[in-house]
Structure 1
Amino acid sequence: MSSASPDKILLVAKDRTLRTLLERLLVGGGFAVVDGGTGADTVALLESAGPIALVVCERTGPGLDEVALFEEIRRSPGHGRVPILALPPADPECTARALEAGVDDCLAKPFHPKEFLTRVERLARPTARGNTP
């Protein structure tokens, strides 16, 4: 992590309560959070927010399937390799679809906050403590 500013996480979550909780966890973990809302403008936010260390995506809003969003991020010329942590429901089918679409990791809900932060740290700061994505 740079001493000038914390690593930025783009957070996409349909559920406002969950988004608020995740934002608090991330800020408490030393990250800056860019609110991706429900996902409609995620790729545009990636292009305008500067360097993003990780995209965390719970579920997207109406009109945008999260798998389509993952595929769109992967096609983005400037951010196609940004790590993605998907937070699918505890359903193996959802997890498989996310992984097939190119996400780097999945953490099924419900999950423990410590496990969430550990996975975020591993993906957003791969050189810290010898982590590799």
Structure 2
Amino acid sequence: MSDRPRVLVVDDEPQILRALRILLRDAGFEVLQAASVEGALDAAAVRPPEAAIIDLVLPDGDGIDITRSLRGWSEMPILVLSAVGEEDAKVRALEAGADDYVTKPFGPRELVARLEAAMRRAGPGQAEPVLRADGLELDFAARTVRVDGAEVHLTPIEFNLLRLLARNRGRLMTHRSLLIEVWGPEYATDGAVLRAHVANLRRKIEPAGQAPRYIRTDPGIGYRFAA
């Protein structure tokens, strides 16, 4: 019996499936593979994986179907693979429960790093009372924020937005999920209010004149706390 973490890989292109199998095995994973929705669900039922990498486009459905089915019984990390330009499908996959996505063609090291990060986030552990990351200190209980030792004054909404992103560190959060969590369901489609608050938050915590250090944008999809 292998003690390697088991990853379900689903793609209907044989060359990609083979490349992923070799890549993940070399990185220390045991690989279960499937080329269809039905095959993926069968494989997961017989030998439940600890994570999954799923292509969005499959011959008998799509990766969203698999994601939704897996989320019915598992909190395993799920990454979706997508072609450039499939923004709507990426959003639907994330809303169905996927943790992240990787766009084809992808770099092997990026894929393994995304998978390992998702698995670390899913691992056991207690919530941090204080999060420290690259000069930022976020005290969840005291609701205080410091950047490079200096206290930064945030509005309640800005703090709640930053706290939600930080507690999902590294994970892509869609516009819709952020709006619902921070503002409520009635704001689910109000992208303008989210963009305005992210801009205000960045002005307060990000280094002036430099690329964002903490809050990264995935264009058309959402934001992630990347520090």
Larger Rg: 2
TM norm structure 1: 0.81
Once residues 6 and 120 of structure 2 are traced to their aligned partners in structure 1, the CA distance between those partners, rounded to angstroms, is: 11
Query: What is residue 14 of structure 2 aligned with on the other side?
Result: 16
Query: 1:102 is matched with which residue: 88, 97, 101?
Result: 97
* Counterpart amino acid of residue 42 in structure 2: A
Query: What is residue 113 of structure 1 aligned with on the other side?
Result: 108
Structure 1: where are the runs of 5+ without partners? none
Once residues 35 and 26 of structure 1 are traced to their aligned partners in structure 2, the CA distance between those partners, rounded to angstroms, is: 11
Higher mean C-alpha displacement, 11-20 vs 62-71: 62-71
Contact 1:40 1:60 in 2 (8 A): no
The structure in which a higher percent of residues are strand is 2
Percent of aligned positions that are identical: 25
Query: What is residue 54 of structure 2 aligned with on the other side?
Result: 57
Contact 1:13 1:39 in 2 (8 A): no
Query: 1:86 is matched with which residue: 60, 75, 80?
Result: 80
**Displacement after TM superposition at 1:74 (Å):** 1.2
Once residues 59 and 96 of structure 1 are traced to their aligned partners in structure 2, the CA distance between those partners, rounded to angstroms, is: 11
Once residues 19 and 60 of structure 1 are traced to their aligned partners in structure 2, the CA distance between those partners, rounded to angstroms, is: 13
Listed as ranges, the matches of 1:63-82 within 5 Å are 63-75=60-72, 77=73, 80-82=74-76
Structure 2: where are the runs of 5+ without partners? 124-168, 172-227
Q: Aligned pair count?
A: 124
Contact 2:37 2:60 in 1 (8 A): no
* Counterpart amino acid of residue 32 in structure 1: E
